[in-house]
Structure 1
Amino acid sequence: MISELRVGVVGVGQRASLATLVDRSGRAKVVSCADPDPRGRHDARELFGPDVTIHEQYPQMLDDHLHAVFVLTPDHLHTRPVVWFLEAGVAVFVEKPLAITVEDCDLLLSTARRTGTPLYVGHNLRHLPTLRRMRALIDEGTIGRVRAVWCRHFVGHGGDYYFKDWHAERAKTTGLLLQKGAHDLDVIHWLAGGYSRRVVAQGALAVYGTNPRRSAESGGTGGRRMPDWFDPGGWPPAALQDLNPVIDVEDLSMMLTRLDNGVLTSYQQCHFTPDYWRNYTVLGDEGRLENFGDGVDGAPATIKVWNRHRSGYRQDADLEVPIVPSTAAHGGADAAVVAEFLHFAAVGGPTETSPVAAREAVAAAVAATASLRANGMPMTVPELDPELVHYFDE
């Protein structure tokens, strides 16, 4: 047992506020940060106080005697620092998605196994109250045996969030089915109790690809970050300004999957809707359940269950479960995922998140992205080495 964890942060950018929850935990403190960008180094001081040690390069952080580290870099830059700290025996929290290729995911898992170093992936939606209640209803047998899961993700702020910086480039994300969808695919697998093995998908760059209002600078932002340009009143989507000069990811995607346990799933993602929320429908052989609102950022949410008798359309459900709204980040899920990681780094034990599940979400997204770019050709999702599965299960 470590009385107080010494924690580092690699990449002090848009998600760095997540690491501020470390100091509030009472069991750990951020003592070291690294970022090659002068703004990141400046923000490290603002976020973590005057005593934090700040570096330009993450290898220098080993001099600060860390127990754990948060890797919060852009997605395509996860792999090297994660491997570096795993090799050094420092417990790693890596932001989702785990990586942007299956090969890199498997490298990270095999490195964690070889070194015995704790690896944790920040799939915070597993701690979202709405989804935890849905999972509990499934486990209680409320709808019988799960036979299908559907998810529709209305990404109302997609233009501001994903098409004005590096997220818009395949080279840095693979695609938004991976970068944005890894969240949802992990939840779909979690609710369904299995992993995708066969996928087919269609998609298009339907709105933002023809927008000529591009930034002249690489990255599309002139060194700014999403909160600097975010405008919730920007409408319609096609009128947005200062898009990334390179846009080669899809803004509309749809995929179908068959899981290894026979459950069928579907996932739809749209980045130009007027509303922003996730809707999950779970179909069992004795009923169905569905969320209305997702409880993120203080929004109300209700889970409805129909499971008592057949009928025509009816808005009323046989069971309605209201979710108490929370203004905490992601409905309190961010605080929960940080607390779980700190406990895991200090004493080990089981966690709600799973490196294997994080890899499987990436693998499903990579296969689906390949399918949609091959005009809907069916794709097989490669299975993980059974020895790695066994290691992380144990």
Structure 2
Amino acid sequence: MTDVDDLRIGVIGIGQRAPVALHAHRPGEGARVVGCADPAPDGQSYAGELFGADVAVHPDHQGLLDMGLDAVMVLTPDDQHTEPVLAALRAGVAVFVEKPLAISVEDCDLILETARRTGTRLYVGHNLRHLPALREMRRLIDEGVIGTVKAVWCRHFVGHGGDYYFKDWHADRRRTLGLLLQKGAHDLDVIHWLAGAPSRTVVAMGDLAVYGDPRRRRTGEATPGARMPDWFDATRWPPAELDELNPVVDVEDISMMMATLSNGVLASYQQCHFTPDYWRNYTVIGDAGRMENFGDAVGEGDAEIRVWNHHRSGYRADADLTVPVTEQAGSHGGADEALVAEFLRFAAEGGATDTSPVAAREAVAAGVAATRSLRTGSPPVRVPELDPDLVAYFAAGQSST
């Protein structure tokens, strides 16, 4: 394939997540990044570092969309997803948007409706659906090794949370709504995926338990051009000693939610940003067994899925079935590369995808409802349902099941 045949890709937002677009920059092999958009001088400079001196750089997404692109990747901060996504969809340019789809249900629904009305391809970057450990769990569920799923539990130990989420815009609820949505959108999508249905009623509680001391915050904005690797320091311990936090810190650093899904499955999700370890633990319980992952094969070595499904017992570490999961090279255990490869194929050809715009909306809707519950005394909150016509539209053109 020559460069003439390459998909022409644009990237909107050249910040911490921008390197994921390197998987779409394969000149002569199917796709190449030809232009970027970022209003900040440091972002514009970073575009050249990532994609080469020949990449066109624009201060806004409109100039980028005027380049005659085949697809764009929207990698802006969460509160800045909606406008460029809508503009690209209206221009008929296939869209990859980083998760979460948006930070409000209303914006999610507007994006989905615009994609349907324009007929433009929409893809949301829920990379955990490509994580080998979780794909193994989904395979085992589909094979019926634990019977019919009745409960899904997820504990997310965010050991680097102070550096990752409390030293920049993530700590400001105006930019994210909260980490139960921003960080939790990944896991809520996986919970729904493993259980086979979205949340319909949720209840939650949480607190800003460790990173709330205003004396540990910066008095001004971060150094221009600084990104998380510039301030990350894994040797700082305990978390209560972290300083140089964002000037605004008003999101929770520990949160817990429970949900009833539309098919009756019960789910729980716990997220803590001051644990010493960093990994996700999923437990899936069926009417004929239980499975659990030990490790997630993301940057810390291999993992395994253990299944207990033969007989009753007391505690036993020796599972009835153990499935090894080998750590893969690349970011997020190789999931980012697989995610972008699926998007490029989808942008070029259409067809079914393992990610789902409808599921991405449902993850946001569950996170929004849970955050409302958390901040209003923990009442049960109903998750608004999506227009059935939109569900049917994306299922017909994009469902992989």
- Between stretches 280-289 and 23-32, larger displacement belongs to 23-32
Equivalent of residue 362 in structure 1, options 357, 361, 364: 364
Alignment of 1:123 with 2:126, yes or no, is: yes
Aligned-CA RMSD value: 1.3
Alignment of 1:13 with 2:8, yes or no, is: no
Where 2:343 maps in the other structure, the secondary structure is: helix
Amino acid at match of 2:354: E
- Aligned partners of 1:33 and 1:117: how far apart in 2? 20
Where 1:242 maps in the other structure, the secondary structure is: coil
- Return the offset for 1:234: 1.0
- Return the offset for 1:51: 1.6
Match of 1:47 in 2: 50
- Return the offset for 1:62: 2.4
Match of 1:4 in 2: 6
Amino acid at match of 1:371: S
Matches within 5 A, 1:215-294: 215-218=218-221, 220=222, 223-294=225-296
Matches within 5 A, 1:192-207: 192-207=195-210
**CA deviation string 1:349-372 (max 9, x = no partner):** 000000000000000000000001
**CA deviation string 1:321-373 (max 9, x = no partner):** 11011231111100000000000000100000000000000000000000010
Instruction: Report if aligned partners of 2:43, 2:225 keep a CA contact under 8 Å in 1.
Output: no
- Aligned partners of 2:353 and 2:363: how far apart in 1? 17
- Aligned partners of 2:120 and 2:196: how far apart in 1? 27
- Between stretches 140-149 and 62-71, larger displacement belongs to 62-71
Instruction: Report if aligned partners of 2:301, 2:326 keep a CA contact under 8 Å in 1.
Output: no
What stretches of structure 1 of length at least 5 have no aligned partner? none
Instruction: Report if aligned partners of 1:298, 1:328 keep a CA contact under 8 Å in 2.
Output: no
Equivalent of residue 177 in structure 2, options 174, 178, 182: 174
Match of 2:348 in 1: 346
Alignment of 1:84 with 2:87, yes or no, is: yes
Instruction: Report if aligned partners of 1:298, 1:331 keep a CA contact under 8 Å in 2.
Output: no
- Aligned partners of 2:307 and 2:214: how far apart in 1? 42
- Aligned partners of 2:303 and 2:26: how far apart in 1? 27
Instruction: Report if aligned partners of 1:298, 1:327 keep a CA contact under 8 Å in 2.
Output: no
Match of 2:388 in 1: 386
Instruction: Report if aligned partners of 1:367, 1:379 keep a CA contact under 8 Å in 2.
Output: yes
Amino acid at match of 1:146: V
**CA deviation string 1:161-215 (max 9, x = no partner):** 0001110011000000000000000000000000000000010001101251111
Match of 2:35 in 1: 32
Alignment of 1:75 with 2:78, yes or no, is: yes
Instruction: Report if aligned partners of 1:254, 1:266 keep a CA contact under 8 Å in 2.
Output: yes
Match of 2:161 in 1: 158
Amino acid at match of 1:366: V
Amino acid at match of 1:172: R
- Return the offset for 1:53: 0.8
- Aligned partners of 1:393 and 1:189: how far apart in 2? 16
**CA deviation string 1:18-46 (max 9, x = no partner):** 00111238210000101001111111111
TM-score, normalization: structure 1? 0.98
Instruction: Report if aligned partners of 2:42, 2:224 keep a CA contact under 8 Å in 1.
Output: no
- Aligned partners of 2:223 and 2:358: how far apart in 1? 35
- Aligned partners of 1:212 and 1:195: how far apart in 2? 41
Q: Number of matched residues? A: 393
What stretches of structure 2 of length at least 5 have no aligned partner? 397-401
- Aligned partners of 1:71 and 1:287: how far apart in 2? 41
- Return the offset for 1:222: 5.2
Where 2:150 maps in the other structure, the secondary structure is: strand
Instruction: Report if aligned partners of 2:99, 2:185 keep a CA contact under 8 Å in 1.
Output: yes
Instruction: Report if aligned partners of 2:74, 2:98 keep a CA contact under 8 Å in 1.
Output: yes
- Aligned partners of 2:223 and 2:235: how far apart in 1? 19
Alignment of 1:60 with 2:63, yes or no, is: yes
**CA deviation string 1:92-139 (max 9, x = no partner):** 000000000000000100000000000000000000000000000000
Equivalent of residue 96 in structure 2, options 90, 93, 98: 93
Amino acid at match of 1:205: L
Amino acid at match of 2:287: D
Instruction: Report if aligned partners of 1:144, 1:284 keep a CA contact under 8 Å in 2.
Output: yes
Where 1:296 maps in the other structure, the secondary structure is: coil
- Between stretches 23-32 and 62-71, larger displacement belongs to 23-32
- Aligned partners of 1:231 and 1:133: how far apart in 2? 32
- Return the offset for 1:314: 0.5
Alignment of 1:109 with 2:112, yes or no, is: yes
- Aligned partners of 2:231 and 2:389: how far apart in 1? 46
- Aligned partners of 2:35 and 2:329: how far apart in 1? 29
Match of 2:399 in 1: none
- Aligned partners of 1:231 and 1:260: how far apart in 2? 42
Instruction: Report if aligned partners of 1:164, 1:221 keep a CA contact under 8 Å in 2.
Output: no
Report percent identity of matched pairs: 69
- Return the offset for 1:298: 4.8
